[in-house]
Amino acid sequence: MTTIRITIPELNEHTRAILQLLRTDKSINVYEEDEFLNAPKWQIEEVNKREKYLSKNPESSIDLDEALNALEKKYDL
């Protein structure tokens, strides 16, 4: 996963079109500043730490189904 932060000083017709196009791709998350800044600082730092770890250790990740199965097994659900 690659995280890219882009600052657009003023949205115009062209930059809005680009953002809208990016939002159509389900593999890309586009956040506007207000959305991003609503997260607590500790949470942003934790996400950044996890993204950095995963980029260096991609083999350590598991998919959602595996994670859910592990939790169901652990907690006898």
Q: In three state form, how does the secondary structure of 4-72 look?
A: CCCCCCCCCHHHHHHHHHHHCCCCCCCCCHHHHHCCCHHHHHHHHHHHHHHHHCHHHCCCHHHHHHHHH
Q: What local confidence, expressed as pLDDT, does residue 27 receive?
A: 85
Mean pLDDT over residues 16-38, rounded? 79
Query: What whole-number distance in Å separates Cα of residue 7 and Cα of residue 33?
Result: 9
Q: What local confidence, expressed as pLDDT, does residue 35 receive?
A: 54
Q: Is the pLDDT of residue 46 over 60?
A: yes
